[in-house]
Chains A and B, each alone.
Chain A
Amino acid sequence: EPEVTQTPSHQVTQMGQEVILRCVPISNHLYFYWYRQILGQKVEFLVSFYNNEISEKSEIFDDQFSVERPDGSNFTLKIRSTKLEDSAMYFCASRGTSGGNEQFFGPGTRLTVL
């Protein structure tokens, strides 16, 4: 069964460093999302992406964040200068065009900023 994959599973970085989180959405899906979950808290929306453009972003998604679909398969989230409070689990999700609005999530990347 097709699934969303994410790499790396865990990333440790120093404050101020840039990180790139990678996702491979389900192959025939056209809508892509990033969410984050700070430890023990609820899942929060960051950004949605379609047709090589950001469709919607939350207040969390400030100028330090960017997304890109560099090729036909990958979808990346970049944090330019990480802060301690960026430590969280980051989930990528994708959605197809048929059926309902269900989004299918990847296993997540745990980002630890020291």
Chain B
Amino acid sequence: AQKVTQAQTEISVVEKEDVTLDCVYETRDTTYYLFWYKQPPSGELVFLIRRNSFDEQNEISGRYSWNFQKSTSSFNFTITASQVVDSAVYFCALSARGSTLGRLYFGRGTQLTVWP
């Protein structure tokens, strides 16, 4: 069975603070993909990043960075110098090889509020 846990329901920070969103996943598949999606107040789901299970190289993209650790089954997401426009719900998701077309299993999401 596949499962994604985002223990943080809500996080509030003040602009320019760094913030890390936690994601822990469970799967028995050895090949899988992990994703982060952003859902701004307008409601759409915006793809941010994908990582596959055999690529543990962490990535930095502008103010965003991701930390993938298979040993702890975690795929955390950090926003550096947060901005008001980062306010959104962030979803971590998992797609495992056992699913024919790679259905996504989502966590419950973390509501991030960045105050000016």
Q: Of A42, A101, A104, A107, which is within 8 A of B109 by CB?
A: A42
Interface residues of B in 25-52 (CB under 8 A from A): 33, 35, 37, 42-47, 50, 52
For chain A, what secondary structure do more than half of its interface residues adopt (helix, strand, loop), or is it mixed?
strand
The answer to whether A56 and B50 touch across the interface, beta carbons within 8 angstroms, is: no
Q: Which of A25-79 contact B (CB under 8 A)?
A: 31, 33, 35, 41-45, 48-50, 55-56, 58
Q: A42-B108, A91-B45, A108-B43 known; A102 and B35 CB under 8 Å?
A: yes
Tell me the A90-114 residues at the B interface (CB within 8 Å): 91, 93, 95, 100-108, 110
Asked if B19 is an interface residue, CB under 8 A from chain A, the answer is no
Residues of A within 8 A of B107 (CB): 42
List, in ascending order, chain B residues with CB within 8 A of A58's CB. 103
CB closest chain-B residue, reference A50: B101
Candidates A44, A55, A89, A110; contact of B101 at CB < 8 Å = A55
Shortest Cβ distance from B51 into A: residue: A100
A56 touches B100 (CB 8 A): yes
Q: Tally chain B residues at the interface, Cβ within 8 Å.
A: 25
B44: nearest chain-A partner, CB-CB: A107
Q: Given A100-B33, A105-B44, A33 and B101 touching (CB < 8 A)?
A: yes
- Tell me, in angstroms, the Cα distance from A43 to B99 when the chains sit together: 17
- Across the interface, do B47 and A102 meet the contact criterion of CB distance under 8 Å? yes
**Given A105-B44, A105-B47, are A56 and B99 neighbors across the interface (CB < 8 Å)?**
yes
What residues make up the interface of B, taking CB atoms closer than 8 Å to A? 33, 35, 37, 42-47, 50, 52, 91, 93, 95, 99-109
Give the interface of A toward B (CB within 8 A).
31, 33, 35, 41-45, 48-50, 55-56, 58, 89, 91, 93, 95, 100-108, 110
